Amino acid sequence: MCMRYCVYLHGFLSSGQSHKAQWFLAQVTQENSSKKGSKIEEGGEKIIFQHWLTPTYPLLSPQESLAAIEKVFLPLLNQPDVQVMLAGSSMGGFYAQYLGQKYRCPYVMINPALNPIPLFEKNKGEHKSSATGEKFCIDNVYIDQLKPLFFNENNPLDLSVPALLLLDEADELIDIPFALNAYQPTALMESSNIQVVTYPEGNHAFQHLDEAWPVIKEFGRLYLR
């Protein structure tokens, strides 16, 4: 039997113990417990995610972040009986996009920071994560490491890779027009695997987990066979 995983990537200055990470983990655990061994598991409504992983990755540099994520993600991706989806919030959404595109893996972005450099430019200096206690510095080297991870006209998104973009319209932190411009025009493409869902109001913490969860599960059902 094929095992289906989701690797969830937390936001900046957060951890795998964040509210959203643990909320998703609780949903998967509860739903799988109720379905396991029942007829529903054998019929049309299969268990979508057998495993939902919430790793904590370091913030010392983008290279360190990606290396730690890939250490969790790649061993799963390379197993023939395993299918993997990526999901991420805020900066985790930025990394989910990059890795999803790189490895042609379905990915979900929740209020993603797809244009993070202006935010980092405003917050240069020494920082300490309240979630993990990790200390690091945002400087020009840090920012320069992010630049090759962007997608633009010279490095366009591969629109054949399934992607789901979830946005709270009143997010006060991320560049919402940037995210919409990258993904929303693809809704006009009949063959597109891109889905964009926006929710009124809300904020950067994302206030629509309950409404978005069925959408995420349907996305997983479609692209994790």
* Long-range contacts of 90-93, Cβ-Cβ distance < 8 Å, separation of 24 or more: 90/11, 90/12, 90/14, 90/173, 90/174, 90/204, 91/9, 91/11, 91/12, 91/116, 92/8, 92/9, 92/10, 92/11, 92/14, 93/9, 93/11
Q: Which domain holds residue 187?
A: 3-223
Q: What is the pLDDT of residues 16-33, one digit of tens each?
A: 999 999 999 999 999 998
Number of domains in the chain: 1
Q: What is the pLDDT of residues 130-179, one digit of tens each?
A: 999 999 999 999 999 999 999 988 899 998 999 999 999 999 999 999 99
Q: What is the pLDDT of residues 87-130, one digit of tens each?
A: 999 999 999 999 999 999 999 999 999 999 999 999 999 999 99
Instruction: Say what the pLDDT of residue 191 is.
Output: 55
Instruction: Say what the pLDDT of residue 152 is.
Output: 84
Sort strands 135-138 and 125-128 into parallel, antiparallel or unpaired.
Answer: antiparallel
What's the token pair of residue 13? 């200055």
User: Are the beta carbons of 24 and 10 closer than 8 angstroms?
Assistant: no
How many CA atoms are closer than 13 Å to the CA of 2, on its beta-carbon side? 16
Residue 209's domain is classified under what CATH number? 3.40.50.1820
Q: What is the DSSP letter of 185?
A: G
Instruction: Say what the pLDDT of residue 123 is.
Output: 94
| pTM exceeding the 0.75 threshold for the entire prediction | yes
